[in-house]
């Protein structure tokens, strides 16, 4: 197997940094290219090379590829956020499509034939079928999802034309954090349920507004497939192994296959913290599908991977530990007991050997679902 360098764009972000850390621990040579518009570079290990720059900067990308013998690309860098993308779509198409294409074109010209892309379950819009297979209609509801899907189409076509093995990993709801608390979700502004609800419970933000209690779901609140970010990182390593040996994995859903409602998330946070999550109920958020749960069979078949940290409580405990260890977290007297319990010294690095992923040696050829 090729062990050339891996260019990781967006490797200072939430999912990218978890992947980069894991990949370095697995002995990979990683170079992160990140413009630091939203990432946290301090979280990256010293053994990893960080270049501050733009994915669309051809000269920078060329320099990295030559200097570090890059053989593959894992492309996390991109703009996220459904609502913000409606307000400023041009920025989303610029970063997620135009610059991403320039990156793809640059590395293709340099002979790179393995490319993984961070995609999203938002490409499905409001799916009729739950759990959602990769063959479900692709009907994103906002420029964030549309721009991610546009790049999937481009990658599929460029990959076929030029013999590039590729994968588009469609994340459901990433949550949790590295178990030792050293990497945290750090979006600015924060819009995601788990960090917002943790902050509300810790008195760091106002009560959370639950978007709708009249959805067609068992308890009226939306249902999501929360997946531990460490599981996502492992899935990327499996996909990287595949594209490096020339196997296109195509679009792959990454989730647990199990849904939890917003109410369940708030109840689990309350039970972990031993205090309620202050919340009110508001109207539905436009474009929120009532249920979004992954059909995970394709991931199992083509990556030999499945999520292993599937307990919602574990994801929340890991997210809490990491959230409280962020430099901007202020320890106040009202949370003394919680701080004592969760600001414990960092554990050693996660025991990756315990993860049931290791015995997948070959990647069966599998036709990815066709794009319409």
| Closest CB 82 distance from ligand UDP, rounded Å | 6
| Residue selected from 51, 155, 210, 316 as contacting ligand UDP according to rule CB under 6 A | 210
Please report, as residue ranges, which positions from 250 to 289 form the binding site for ligand UDP (by CB under 6 A).
262, 285, 288
Which residue from 72, 142, 156, 173 is in contact with ligand UDP, where contact means CB under 6 A?
173
CA distance 338 to 207: 19
- Closest CB to ligand UDP among 45 and 282? 282
| Closest CB to ligand UDP among residues 198, 273 | 198
Binding region for ligand UDP (CB under 6 A) out of 104-112, 177-185, 202-210, 318-326: 202-210
**CB 10, min distance to ligand UDP, A:** 17
Q: What mask of x and - would describe binding to ligand UDP in positions 40 to 79, judged by CB under 6 A?
A: ----------------------------------------
Q: 220 or 369: whose CB is closer to ligand UDP?
A: 220
Closest among 314, 312, 310 to 322, alpha carbons compared: 314
Give every CB contact of residue 148 below 8 A, 6+ residues apart in sequence: 78, 96, 119, 120, 122, 123, 140
Q: For residues 177-196, which are near ligand UDP according to CB under 6 A?
A: 191-193, 196
Locate 164 and state its tokens: 């590039």
Three-state SS across 129-192?
A: CCCECCCCCCCCCCHHHHHHHHHHHHHHHHHHHHCCEEEEEEECEEECCCCCCCCCCCCCCCCC
* Distance separating alpha carbons of residues 94 and 342, to the nearest angstrom: 40
CA–CA separation, 357 and 305 (whole Å): 6
Nearer to ligand UDP, 259 or 350 (CB): 259
Instruction: Kindly state the smallest distance separating residue 116's Cβ from ligand UDP, in Å.
Output: 20
Among 7, 183, 222, 266, binds ligand UDP (CB under 6 A): 222
Size of the site for ligand UDP (CB under 6 A): 14
Q: Specify the residue, 183 or 262, whose C-beta has the smaller distance to ligand UDP.
A: 262
- Residue 305 near residue 255 (C-beta atoms within 8 A): no
CB 24 within 8 A of CB 183: no
* Helical ranges in the chain per DSSP H: 14-25, 58-67, 82-87, 89-93, 100-109, 143-162, 193-201, 229-244, 262-273, 297-303, 312-324, 336-342
Question: Which residues of this chain interact with ligand UDP, rule CB under 6 A?
Answer: 173, 191-193, 196, 208-211, 222, 224, 262, 285, 288
């Amino acid at each position: 197997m090729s062990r050339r360098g891996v260019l990781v764009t967006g490797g200072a972000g939430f999912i990218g940094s978890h992947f980069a850390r894991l990949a370095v621990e697995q002995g990979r040579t990683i170079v992160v290219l990140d413009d630091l518009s939203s990432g946290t570079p301090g979280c990256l290990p010293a053994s990893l090379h960080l270049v501050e720059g733009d994915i669309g900067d051809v000269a920078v990308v060329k320099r990295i590829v030559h200097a570090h013998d890059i053989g593959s690309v894992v492309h996390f860098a991109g703009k996220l956020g459904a609502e913000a993308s409606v307000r400023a779509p041009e920025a989303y198409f610029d970063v997620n499509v135009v610059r991403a294409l320039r990156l793809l074109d640059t590395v293709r010209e340099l002979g790179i034939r393995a490319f993984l892309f961070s995609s999203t379950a938002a490409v499905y819009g409001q799916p009729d079928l739950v759990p959602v297979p990769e063959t479900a209609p692709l009907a994103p509801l906002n420029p964030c999802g549309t721009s991610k899907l546009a790049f999937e189409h481009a990658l599929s076509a460029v990959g076929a034309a030029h013999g590039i093995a590729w994968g588009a990993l469609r994340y459901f709801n990433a949550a949790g954090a590295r178990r030792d608390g050293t990497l945290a979700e750090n979006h600015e502004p924060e819009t995601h349920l788990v960090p917002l609800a943790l902050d509300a419970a810790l008195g760091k933000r106002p009560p959370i507004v639950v978007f709708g209690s009249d959805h067609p779901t068992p308890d009226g609140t939306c249902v999501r497939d929360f997946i531990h970010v460490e599981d996502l990182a492992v899935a990327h390593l499996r996909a990287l192994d595949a594209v490096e040996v020339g196997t296109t994995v195509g679009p792959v859903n990454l989730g647990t296959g199990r849904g939890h409602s917003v109410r369940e998330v708030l109840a689990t946070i309350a039970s972990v913290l031993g205090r309620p999550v202050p919340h009110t109920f508001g109207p539905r958020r436009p474009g929120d599908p009532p249920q979004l749960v992954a059909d995970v069979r394709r991931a199992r078949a083509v990556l030999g991977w499945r999520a292993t940290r599937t307990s919602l409580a574990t994801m929340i405990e890991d997210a809490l530990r990491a959230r409280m260890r962020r430099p901007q977290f202020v320890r106040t007297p009202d949370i003394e007991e919680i701080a004592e319990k969760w600001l414990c010294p960092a554990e050693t690095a996660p025991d990756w050997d315990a993860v049931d992923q290791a015995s997948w040696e070959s990647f069966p050829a599998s036709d990815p679902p066709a794009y319409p």
